[in-house]
Amino acid sequence: MTYRIRNILIAVGLALVAMLLTLFYVTNYKRTVQHSAKDVSVYVASRDITPGTSGADVVQQHDLKVESVAQRNVVPGAITSPQQIARLIVSEPVYSGEQVTLRHFSDVAAQGIRSQLKGALRAIQISGDPNQLLAGTLEAGDHVDLVANLHLQGNTTSADKVVLRDLLVLTAPSVTTAGKVSAPSGAVSAIVQVTETQAPRLFFVLKNGDWTLELRPVVGSTDANNQVETLNTVLGGLR
């Protein structure tokens, strides 16, 4: 085999390799294009969704709908199941027709108290001594009743009554690791969740009487007959 023939064969071989590589590239490119053009299902907002809305409410209120879009148009982070947001909360606006992504949501715990308020629910911070607020015992998530002592008839008589029931504790009094009240003055505070109609009653008691919180059972809590207690009822009830 002469030098010239060998060079020709090498050139033909390289040409074949180049042709095969080109064919392979074109085939893969076509597959990629076809795949990106393929329609897939995505979840989009059926209406505008405001920040603070829980993912559970988004699902339950049917704020999501399924639409088909080309694969190449799927937004990064788009959810593939409503369950992905069930325990999250909306952290930025989602507009009607917009693909719903995990970027629109954050963890409920990261939102703090605000994530637990909606509709007619409000948060009120109350201050008192450690005994009133069960400092060292009370924890966020507990439920409490408010017992009030109010003065009647020119402060000559008093009456006691549970005036509010089943209030959710959002923030408990701060205590040290040793269980002591962290506030130097001895005063502590807690934040409780109330409805808009409960708020004025709570504020009235705080300003016009003595009060204390009582801790409700975690499981199986019930309420007995809540009568007004006065000097006569207390003394008359002695056995």
CATH label of the domain that carries residue 88: 3.90.1210.10
End residue of a domain, out of 82, 112, 142: 112
Are 66 and 107 members of one domain? yes
Asked if pLDDT for residue 131 goes beyond 80, the answer is yes
What is the rounded distance in angstroms from the CA atom of residue 68 to the CA atom of residue 83? 19
- Spatial contact of 45 and 94, defined as CB atoms under 8 Å apart: yes
Q: Are residues 58 and 160 in the same domain?
A: no
Query: Same structural domain for residues 100 and 186?
Result: no
Same domain, 73 and 176: no
Contact 87, 58 (CB under 8 A): no
If asked whether residues 154 and 131 sit together in one domain, one would say yes
Q: Which ranges of the chain does DSSP label H, i.e. alpha helix?
A: 3-37, 55-60, 198-208, 231-236
Report yes or no on 7 lying in a domain.
no
Assess contact for 173 and 167: CB atoms under 8 A.
no
Residues 94 and 138 in one domain: no
For the cut 90, the answer to whether the pLDDT of residue 203 exceeds it is yes
Residue 115 has pLDDT above 80, yes or no: no
Return the closest-CA partner of residue 71 out of 46, 39, 43.
39
Q: How much of the chain, in percent, has pLDDT values that exceed 70?
A: 86
pLDDT band at 18; cut points 50, 70, 90? confident
Q: What is the average pLDDT value for the chain, to the nearest integer?
A: 84
Residues 47 and 72 in one domain: yes
The per-residue pLDDT for 195 is: 95
Answer yes or no: do 164 and 203 share one domain.
Answer: yes
Residue 177 is predicted with a pLDDT of 45
Q: Read off φ and ψ for residue 90, nearest 5 degrees.
A: -70, 125
- Give a yes or no: residue 67 inside a domain: yes
Query: Which of these ranges, 25-39, 46-60, 106-120, 159-173, has the smallest mean pLDDT?
Result: 25-39
* Domain C-terminal end among 60, 90, 112: 112
Q: Are residues 161 and 57 in the same domain?
A: no
Distance CA(164)–CA(146), nearest Å, equals 5
Region 106-130: mean pLDDT is: 83
126-137 b/e (C-beta count within 10 Å ≥ 16 → b): bebebebbbbbe
Considering the domain architecture, whether residues 144 and 80 belong to the same structural domain is answered as no
Confidence of residue 178 (pLDDT cuts 50, 70, 90): very low
Q: What is the mean pLDDT of residues 16-21?
A: 78
- Confidence band, pLDDT 50/70/90 cuts, at residue 35: low
Residue 1 lies in a domain: no
Decide if 61 is inside a domain: yes
3-class secondary structure, 182: coil
As a dihedral over the C-alpha atoms of residue 162, residue 166, residue 169, residue 175, rounded to 10 degrees, the angle is 50
Q: Both 123 and 213 in a single domain?
A: yes
* Three-state secondary-structure class, residue 116: helix
Cα 208–Cα 209–Cα 211 angle in degrees, nearest 5 = 135
Q: Is the pLDDT of residue 1 over 60?
A: no
Domain end (from 97, 112, 127): 112
User: What is the DSSP code (8-state) at residue 32?
Assistant: H
Mapping DSSP to helix (H, G, I), strand (E, B) and coil, where does residue 84 land? helix
- The tally of domains found in the chain comes to 2
Q: Which domain holds residue 160?
A: 119-218+226-236
Is residue 20, in this structure, part of any structural domain at all?
no
Residues 87, 56 contacting (CB under 8 angstroms): yes
Instruction: Give the count of beta carbons closer than 10 Å to the beta carbon of residue 173.
Output: 25
Lowest mean pLDDT among 34-38, 77-81, 230-234: 34-38
Q: Do residues 127 and 90 share a domain? A: no
pLDDT bin (cut points 50, 70, 90) of residue 185 is low
| Res. 33: pLDDT tops 60 | no
pTM of the model: 0.54
Percent share of the chain, pLDDT over 90 = 48
